[in-house]
Amino acid sequence: MIGRLNHVAIAVPDLAQAMAQYENALGASVGAPEDLPEHGVTVVFIELPNTKIELLFPLGADSPIAGFLEKNPSGGIHHICYEVHSIKDAVAQLVDSGARVLGGGMPKIGAHGNPVVFLHPKDFQGSLIELEEVPHS
């Protein structure tokens, strides 16, 4: 079902500092910040030859990333995103297998303009998994 690794998301307590570190210390191509109010985050994508890194910063006090950073003040890996061809088919297969799809299994539109869902970390070895529908994955 899963295809390519789309990105690894890292929650950061200081977005400007993290962007500068990736650009200056690591020489990476760093995109512009983008606010995603529906998800409560500001995101920045770092393009790598084989995948992306997504920097996550809280957008408002109710952001799920604010809660993550309260528990992990230095930041850290928040989730891993895999590509799938069909969110609908992936959700059906996951539910049939007993996995929990967060948000009632209803996709939201993610940072790339594609449907996404998140899978409960307790069902995937403690890791929050995002699935993103990408044509031809």
Beta strands 108-109; 115-119: pairing state: antiparallel
Q: Could you tell me the two tokens for 137?
A: 């994955």
SS3 category, 88: helix
* Closest of 29, 33, 27 to residue 12, by C-alpha: 33
The DSSP element (H or E) to which 10 belongs, if any, is strand 5-11
**Active-site entry in 34, 38, 83, 130:** 130
> Would residue 70 show up in a list of annotated catalytic residues for this protein?
no
- CA-nearest of 2, 42, 9, 49 to 26 is 49
Scanning the structure block, which residue is given the tokens 């007993």? 98
Structure letter (DSSP) for residue 70: H
Backbone angles phi, psi at 70, to 5 degrees: -65, -40
Which residues are identified as catalytic?
A: 130
